[in-house]
Homo-oligomer: A and B are copies of this chain.
Amino acid sequence: MNWIVRETGFHKERITTNSNKFMIGNGYMGYRGTMEEFAKSELTATTLAGLYDRVGDKWREPVNAPNGLSTRIYCDGSLLSVLEEEPLEHEQELDMHMGLHRRKTVFNAPGDNRVTLLSERFCSAERLHLIVNKITIECDKDCELRITTGIDGDVWDINGPHLERMVGRVEGKCLVMNAWTHELNQPVSVVEAIDCEFGEQTMITEEKSIYRQIIIQYRAGEQYTLVKYVSVFTGMDEVENTELAAINSSKEALKLGYAQIFLEQAVKWSRKWKLSDVIIEGDEEAGHALRYSMYQLHIIAPDQSEKVSIPARGLSGQVYKGAVFWDTEMFMLPFFLYTQPEVARNLMMYRVHTLGGARRKAAEYGFEGAFYAWESQETGDDACTLFNVNDVFTGRPMRTYFRDKQVHISADVAHGIWQYYTFTGDESILLDGGAEVIWECAKFFYSYAYYNSRKDRYEILDVTGPDEYHERVNNNAFTNMLVKQTLFIMMEVMKHLQDNHPGLYEKILSIGHNGPTLEQISHMYDNLYVPQPDLENKIIPQFDGYFKLEDVSLAELKSRIINKNEYLGGGSGLATTTQILKQADVVLMLHLFKDRFDQETKQANWQFYEPRTEHGSSLSSCIYALVASDIGSPDWAYPYFMRTATIDLTGESKQYVGDLYIGGTHPAANGGAWMAAVLGFAGLQFQGNGVIISPALPEKWTAIESPISVQGQSYRIRVGKEEVQITAADSNTKDMSFTILGQTINVAQGQAITVSYKC
């Protein structure tokens, strides 16, 4: 089993791509896969989850901490850097099994001296504030080695500088760097302790940096190893003194030593994989890519905080303002729901904690209830700007309607909480604020909807659906369906509360004064228009008037492109007046509500919309894979699955929209790869009262095996070409029904059952 992602040789043009690809992280922070000798020009970053800052009227974005892993090695006065001269050997790898980054470089130092640098680093999954870096140096020949290693405060910022009043100092054996954020004056402290019992050490303080310089008179055959323990604390952490906390953290790590910290890491990661690792038999490349996708999710999952969620580019930098989008609920949540429900709970509790921002946004636009941020940061206020893309032809900011009109976000949030509740049976999410969120989302939609007197129905007007190339449309099928579902969820939740928690029920009903009554929302539910499949051809119109748009082929549309970075949506984008979509929209709805549509409808819409989809979003491919599997065409699905699963391996994703850099990692696609494999090809679907398995394996796959957890019960499911094996954990506390292509069986704790099937 291949747990390694490796690239050999050094290629300057791949620095950015590889820094995404070889990221490490622990949910508290992400560290890009840059080299020790890199600085901000190579986009080196320690990106912090949940700490945001704004400078002037520039975009608000996450803060990158001072880089505690900055190390420069000079051999006989000459800097050893891959940027200076092509190295003799170079290898960069991830060990996904333990969340390690390794690097080996052989430099051609002065006097034909081969200097080998080994570096291993990880963000501790046990100690979230800690990042560890072990460096080993070996040379062919005698020489003078000078190592400067410490904290580089001259960090990469897109819309910074975010850190001010930067002060470096020495505290005992520790290097300390303190700074404060521009907007909210939040302290950020980075401390480095080092295990390095050799050489002659002096301290060097520069304007924004503090280093120790270690000089070694190197003799051939020696090997020097040092370990850096870097700790990061900020004002967002519940500590009184961030500096002190960081010092203590680094000192403790130093005391425990590398072996112990490493062991903790191994244990933590072992658990992650036990709960989640999916094995694909017969397709090593696919298996590796899927594992890598899960790795990316693991390194950014907030498994110890319910105050943060996962940004659209993970912790790979400041792109997309480090903001949380619907990506989390719709593309990442299922992975966590099925594998680590406690993380899923954190993700959804983040929405509970940001309800205030959602209420403010609704009020700002003149609506009731909660209108969740399209781009959510720590408060839930919307970080999304009204001008999101620059027009490549005029250089002018372009008005887009992501913030104003993508109202489905509130439905996505309600859907997410409901999914968590039904999957886990954990009612506490509702009592801890989830029910209130759902109620407020329903209220929002009631206030957003209009009644069409002539047609005697409610409609949802002027929205942008997932297909962002068509802004401000009426009755987007996806949105209307999700809104209807939100009203349904709300009624179910309120019924549940009325029966079981009447106090909370009354309390929620009393929120606000002018809000609608339950009866009014129920009336809307009964009369809300949702676009339906055509009686003849089964096609569902994506929105009112969609079929009147120009029916141009994707090739023809692309031939009209003048500037390769031009945005196809917005006020006058090429796609806006055509049927070309950015991403799955109707087809996503068919996935989310797969039981409500017959196969014929799903197939007709897949075939209709697929050639019209430009896949301008990395969220698109996995949905086409999922629905293709659902309609029994896994081989249509396979290329979409591979495209999704390899997105951060190949780095071949869209890097620019207009002149806006949008690179980084793609957690939604990572989550989508898992969905396509487990929910698509293996065909798993938890339905409240049991699990349905509808296998649809790609031709060359012989089997797929995955652990899952539903309603607190754990199973390993192995789906082969002709049989399904289900193994229930010994620790399970109740039975679960599984239905495989119509055969329903009951699986008790500890049971292992094999069901044969024929497609």
Given A570-B572, A576-B571, also A451-B453 (CB < 8 A)? yes
A399 close to B (CB within 8 Å) = yes
- CB of A452 to closest CB in B, whole Å: 6
Check if B461 sits within 8 Å of A520, measured CB to CB: no
CA distance A571 to B394 in the complex (A): 13
Residue of B nearest to A450 (CB): B450
CA distance A560 to B397 in the complex (A): 12
Given A399-B572, A572-B398, also A453-B520 (CB < 8 A)? yes
Residue of B nearest to A563 (CB): B394
Q: Interface readout for A348-389 with B: 1 if CB under 8 Å, 0 if not?
A: 000000000000000000001000000000000000001100
> A439-494: which residues lie under 8 A (CB-CB) from chain B?
446-447, 449-454, 458-459, 461-462, 472, 474
CA distance A447 to B560 in the complex (A): 38
Residue of B nearest to A455 (CB): B447
A562 close to B (CB within 8 Å) = yes
The 8 Å CB contact of A462, one of B394, B461, B562, B571, is B461
CA distance A396 to B450 in the complex (A): 35
Residue of B nearest to A577 (CB): B399
Within 8 Å CB of A454, what residues of B?
368, 446-447, 514, 516
CA distance A372 to B472 in the complex (A): 24
Within 8 Å CB of A451, what residues of B?
450-453
Given A394-B393, A472-B472, also A453-B461 (CB < 8 A)? no
A391 close to B (CB within 8 Å) = yes
> A572-604: which residues lie under 8 A (CB-CB) from chain B?
572-574, 576-577
Check if B446 sits within 8 Å of A450, measured CB to CB: no
CA distance A391 to B574 in the complex (A): 12
Q: How many copies does the complex hold?
A: 2
Within 8 Å CB of A459, what residues of B?
450
CA distance A351 to B171 in the complex (A): 88
Check if A396 sits within 8 Å of B572, measured CB to CB: yes
> A218-271: which residues lie under 8 A (CB-CB) from chain B?
none
CA distance A396 to B524 in the complex (A): 42
- CB of A241 to closest CB in B, whole Å: 43
Check if A450 sits within 8 Å of B452, measured CB to CB: yes
CA distance A459 to B451 in the complex (A): 10
Within 8 Å CB of A516, what residues of B?
453-454
CA distance A482 to B434 in the complex (A): 46
Within 8 Å CB of A474, what residues of B?
462
Within 8 Å CB of A449, what residues of B?
453
The 8 Å CB contact of A572, one of B391, B452, B472, is B391
Q: Which of A368, A394, A398, A520 has the most chain B CB atoms closer than 10 A to its own CB?
A: A394
CA distance A393 to B398 in the complex (A): 14
Residue of B nearest to A562 (CB): B394
- CB of A602 to closest CB in B, whole Å: 27
CA distance A577 to B396 in the complex (A): 12
Within 8 Å CB of A386, what residues of B?
577
CA distance A524 to B452 in the complex (A): 12
Q: Which of A399, A452, A572 has the most chain B CB atoms closer than 10 A to its own CB?
A: A572
> A640-697: which residues lie under 8 A (CB-CB) from chain B?
none
Chain A to chain B contacts (Cβ below 8 Å), 9 pairs: A368-B454, A386-B577, A399-B572, A450-B461, A453-B520, A454-B514, A461-B461, A571-B571, A571-B576
Sample of 17 more A-B contacts, CB < 8 Å, known A399-B576, A453-B516? A368-B454, A387-B577, A391-B572, A396-B574, A446-B453, A446-B454, A447-B454, A449-B453, A450-B451, A450-B459, A450-B461, A451-B453, A454-B514, A461-B461, A461-B462, A571-B571, A572-B572
Which 8 A-B residue pairings sit nearest by Cβ, starting from the closest? Answer: A571-B571, A571-B572, A450-B450, A451-B451, A393-B393, A447-B454, A399-B577, A572-B572
